[in-house]
Amino acid sequence: MCGITGYIGDSQAAPVLLGALKKLEYRGYDSAGIAVLDEGTITVRKAKGPLSALEEKLADAVITGSLGIGHTRWATHGEPSDINSHPHTDVSGQIAVVHNGIIENYLSLKEWLQTREVVFRSETDTEVIAHLINFYYTGEKASGGMPKPGFGEPPLLRAVQNALERLEGSYALAIAVADYPDRIIAARKDSPLVIGLGQGENLIASDIPALLPHTRDVIYMEEGELAVLYRDHVELINAQGGRVIRAPSRVEWDAEAAEKGGFAHFMLKEIHDQAKALSDTLRPRIKNGGIVFEEFDFENFSFEACAGEAKRIVITACGTAWHAAMVAKYAFEHFARIPVEVDIASEYRYRNPVPGEKDLVIIISQSGETADTLAAMRLAKKGGNRILAITNVVGSTLAREADLTLFTWAGPEIAVASTKAFTTQLMCLYLLALKLARVRSRVTEGAYRNYIDELARLPLLAEELLSKQKLIQRFASRQFNKTKVFFMGRQFDYAISLESALKLKEISYTHSEAFAAGELKHGPIALVDKNTLVVAIATQTALFDKIISNIKEISARGGASLVITWEDNPFGPVADEVFTIPKTLDPFSPMLAIIPAQLFAYYCSIQRGNNPDKPRNLAKSVTVE
Ligand code: AGP
């Protein structure tokens, strides 16, 4: 998804903007550009392709100026090309805009502007914003409201406000205007934007890693807000036009946490981060042997009361987060004996769901900015449900709009393919399931404490498992050319099969699917031949025999098989390969069983010559539908 940034300060803007854009690369992009303002002129440089293509263009000319905006574009309207790349300018070239989001009514705005002789250069929705601002700004100037820096509401701000009022859809915007060399204007609606407060410089960006080389003091912009960034201060204006004072938040995690730390790729680093991340998610919530959610001690939402009363849990999310929800269904039903409904957010939002008065609605999202997930949350809220969010991003829209938020504390996840966010989401969900089980007296105090002790062992077991990564690497080097890879399992293992298949298809571009092992004979077996690899996830001991039969059926048709299972297992004689994981309780297996599958996807991707951190066509944060 697009990344935007802006800089105003004493340094040269171009290198700062390029540095910030590099930190936003993880979001996925197909082109990039910057606009720098100097002595009343805005210079724009943009290029299709990686940032290095833009850097090459910039190498030809020295671009001076200490105010600028920058963008990495992930094409939605118009193909990836130099022309469609941002920044976009108005007809005069005096107003430059970078945008993340989608302007849904851009076609009608474009037609309206064209009737006023505006000539469009690109196929993007964003270009209308630059022209609209120009339209209102020219009007303001013509009516006598000439710019008076530092004096009341300048015509520029009014022009931006008027333009924004015409926009339907989502946007995070940074705007530079030649008449105003002392400020950048930023605005947000349904797309994230964070302000970085530096010493004699201020910045704006879609995400924190872009700000960290300059500052740890940040302000998260709220829905509908405008910000005016000067060199030495920042003004915030809410949707009603009122001034807002908001204390900055301090970013506590290290810039290094967002770097590769010696690993070849962010994805590999993040797979290895999981042991620590699981621990970071678990530890703060364990007090005197029990589970305590200190974040839930709010007057209007007692988790205990809500959980105790809940007749049903509804969980909705997208992609990997939806797979975490699938695992949670088994965990909540197993431990707390409460019915759980799981829905993909994009389905939930359009299927006219029936909210139950006593539903507990859980929304899961690593980024907290996924458009479908936010829409599902707002729908559930409108239906009168209380919302419990699980997210990794402090200050995200989800965290700010939910009634309660459980943070996953996984640290920044940069690789597009989610790994540590998934396992830490699971940890949060298991903590909730066990707490709920205890609140509803579904487990004894003794059993509850034993379960918690076992959860606390998982980070160590994950570490042990990760030390065997070479075995998976070797296996991947033999199997990466398979044209079809299927994952199968039962119950918890079915949910992990879904996530395993997604990982493999995302980064290795291998056709992979998951199915419940019991479904093998109902269709998927027709596809099994000698080009097929079937990976069975087998951690539910009571169902081992069933999986043995499934594997025999696959071998009989020439398919190769790998089983991911406990150390003590019966699969050696039937499967081609067995990869073992250290033993924990069967229902806790998902937090471990997914790790070999993540590694397998990673190494297949490497073998195929792909960049696992930036898979084609995918974006880290899907902030549009
Ligand atoms: C995960 O590997 C994917 N990149 C994707 O499915 C992701 O989980 C999904 O887009 C949801 O993102 P979120 O957790 O940020 O809401």
Ligand 1 mutation pick, 26, 271, 318, max ligand atoms within 8 A of CB: 318
Share of residues in the chain with pLDDT > 70 (%): 94
- CA 366 to ligand 1 center in whole angstroms: 7
Per annotation, catalytic residue among 2, 306, 318, 428: 2
Q: Find, among 313, 421, 325, 289, the residue nearest to 367 by Cα.
A: 421
- Matching CATH number, 468-612, of 3.10.310.30, 3.40.50.10190, 3.40.190.10, 3.40.50.10490: 3.40.50.10490
Q: In CATH terms, are 3-256 and 468-612 the same topology? A: no
For the chain, the average pLDDT equals: 91
Question: Among 65-69, 163-167, 260-264, 459-463, which stretch is predicted with the lowest mean pLDDT?
Answer: 260-264
The domain 260-463: what is its CATH number? 3.40.50.10490
Given a cut of 80, is residue 577 above it in pLDDT?
Answer: yes
357-368 tens-digit pLDDT: 788 999 999 999
Given a cut of 90, is residue 463 above it in pLDDT?
Answer: yes
Closest atom of ligand 1 to CA, residue 619: 4
Question: Among 24-28, 231-235, 268-272, which stretch is predicted with the lowest mean pLDDT?
Answer: 24-28
Q: Which CA distances in Å does 130 have to 2, 42, 137?
A: 17, 13, 10
Closest atom of ligand 1 to CA, residue 366: 14
Task: At 186, list the tokens.
Answer: 């930023």
Helix (H, G, I), strand (E, B) or coil at 439: helix
Closest atom of ligand 1 to CA, residue 317: 16
Domain limits, the chain: 3-256, 260-463, 468-612
d(CA 67, CA 276): 40
d(CA 380, CA 345): 11
Provide the pLDDT for residue 146. Answer: 45
Provide the pLDDT for residue 307. Answer: 67
d(CA 20, CA 199): 17
Say if residues 320 and 365 touch (Cβ distance below 8 Å).
Answer: no
Given a cut of 80, is residue 262 above it in pLDDT?
Answer: no
Nearest CA owner, ligand 1 atom 4: 417
Active site residue 2: yes
- CA 324 to ligand 1 center in whole angstroms: 11
Given a cut of 50, is residue 147 above it in pLDDT?
Answer: no
Nearest CA owner, ligand 1 atom 16: 365
- CA 141 to ligand 1 center in whole angstroms: 45
Given a cut of 80, is residue 1 above it in pLDDT?
Answer: no
416-428 tens-digit pLDDT: 999 999 999 999 9
Ligand 1: which residues within 6 Å by Cβ?
Answer: 318-321, 365-367, 370, 373, 416-418, 506, 618, 621-622
Provide the pLDDT for residue 28. Answer: 67
- CA 319 to ligand 1 center in whole angstroms: 5
Q: Which residue has the higher pLDDT, 237 or 61?
A: 237
Q: Which CA distances in Å does 275 have to 105, 247, 269, 586, 597?
A: 46, 34, 11, 19, 16
Nearest CA owner, ligand 1 atom 9: 319
Closest atom of ligand 1 to CA, residue 503: 2
- CA 321 to ligand 1 center in whole angstroms: 6
pTM score: 0.73
Task: At 566, list the tokens.
Answer: 């406990």
Per annotation, catalytic residue among 48, 110, 329, 620: 620
Provide the pLDDT for residue 152. Answer: 43
Class of the CATH-defined domain 3-256: alpha beta
72-105 tens-digit pLDDT: 997 777 778 899 999 999 999 999 999 998 888 8
Strands 249-250 and 217-220: antiparallel
Provide the pLDDT for residue 149. Answer: 43
Q: Which residues contact 204 (CB under 8 A, 6 or more apart)?
A: 4, 5, 6, 174, 184, 186, 193, 194, 195, 196, 227, 229
Provide the pLDDT for residue 256. Answer: 62
